[in-house]
Amino acid sequence: MRIFPLLLGVLLAAGSFAQQRPAQDRPNVIIILTDDQGYKDVGFNGSTDIPTPGIDRIADSGVVFTSGYVSYAVCGPSRAGLLTGRYQDRFGFSKNPLFAPNDPQMGLPLSEETMADLLKKAGYATAAFGKWHMGAHPDLYPNKRGFDEFYGFLSGGHNYFPEDYTVADITQAKSQMDGYRTRLLRNTERVDETEYLTDALSREAVDFVERHHEEPFFIYLAYNAPHTPLQATEKYLSRFAHIEDPKRRTYAAMVSAVDDGVDALLDKLDELGITDNTLVFFLSDNGGPSPHNASDNSPLRGFKGDFFEGGIRVPFAVQWKGVIPAGIRYDAPVISLDIFATAAATSQASPKNELDGVNLVPYLTGENQGLPHEQLFWRNYQAGKFAVRTPESKQITTAKETLLFDIQNDISESRNLAADEAKRAAQLSQRVEEWKKTLMDPIFMGLSEDKKYSELHPDRFGK
């Protein structure tokens, strides 16, 4: 197996660095998650038309995962995997959940321990800001899933301008899209927001740090930007007059608003003197849906929803100053599931369920010179599609075709090797077959079944 010789040399040097300063005790944990952001749409992955100096601070102070993946190509299942550290198909979260406030089964099952559950048990103050999408029934609210504080919305998307929040409460909702127009929640109470949504979420995160910096804390800052609808204030639009495409200009403005928020959050950590004791992750929940929001996944093939790289390989970086070395680009495959395992290890907490991720810190410091994963997997239940990634290979299979790529040398997945390398294809298919035995069927209907679900559940909004 290839061990990435250049990377190994860097990690050996990193190991010496790490030995000079022992790992901090129980660091704070911050996850900054964007929605539908393109792989290239950060400075650390080569963006030239959208500067992201705030986000790039994380990359400059830590590690960029050049082969960083999420566990699904759309937001709901991807976020379920992130929050539990487990392949979401193990517990039936295989589809994008519908907005169904009267259905306690429509969301993250109660059998699953969230990262907030774990860290709260370990004595952390916990907060979620932004998009939830793990269920709109009261039993599934963030405050019931380990979060001390929540500020945001329950649905899979939301409008950005407060004047559009015309649904006073979810009991007044009449359709799936009404979730985009609900007033925001502070914990379980509806509130009247006055700021642009991205700015409001950043404000709340900074305020939480100010109030809880003297104790260990966990923040899940789940922006919905730059997910549609494409909406931005003039403050951010004015920065991108040079972009002629109006859709790309608004998208860039939305990313820039996130970047300002990340910058403010990192500034607050510096101001309070806790940067060195805070583990900060940044990633997108899936690849960019370029036709819809003008995102840029290059040089990757495909988009959100695909198992091509453009759907599942995302901008992904982490910093832990003084522990993880700075300015490293790490090429071995990692996945969003690893964040839970890393948080568990660094907080010295014991998860309830078996995890599919690994603690990344020893790999980044050079203490462990192996590979975090021998293989990573994906399943699209409705499409009957599977994918597997090893350090050298990537394979996508359906009932009709097999696509095999030399992913290390063909990042754009331009040449299908399945016919030429039948033995390798068969071996990868066997790995998938073994993994499939650990999965279960979906436990709820998904977004594409909205009409049918409403017919079967006329009381879905609690009326």
Give me the helices (H) in 173-303, please: 197-212, 234-237, 246-271, 290-293
Which structure tokens are listed for 344?
A: 């568990």
Comparing C-alpha atoms, which of 138, 131, 137 is closest to residue 157?
A: 131
Residue type, 97: P
For residues 221-254, b (16+ Cβ closer than 10 Å) or e, as one string? bbbbbbbbebbbbeebbebbeebeeeebbbbbbb
Q: Can you tell me the distance from the alpha carbon of 129 to that of 219, in angstroms, rounded to the nearest whole number?
A: 8
Q: For this structure, is 133 an active site residue?
A: yes
DSSP string over 155-172: SS---SSGGG--B-SGGG
Do 292 and 228 form a contact (C-beta atoms < 8 A)? yes
Which residues are bridge partners to 319 per DSSP? 280
Among 133, 158, 212, 227, the one annotated catalytic: 133
Do 304 and 311 form a contact (C-beta atoms < 8 A)? yes
The residues near 380 (Cβ < 8 Å, ≥ 6 apart) are 73, 307, 386
Q: For this structure, is 227 an active site residue?
A: no
Q: Can you tell me the distance from the alpha carbon of 152 to that of 133, in angstroms, rounded to the nearest whole number?
A: 11
Helices and strands (H, E) in the chain, number of each type:
13, 16
Q: Can you tell me the distance from the alpha carbon of 168 to that of 170, in angstroms, rounded to the nearest whole number?
A: 7
Give the torsion sign (CA, 313, 315, 320, 325).
positive
Among 75, 158, 227, 373, the one annotated catalytic: 75
Residue type, 299: P
Active site residues: 75, 133
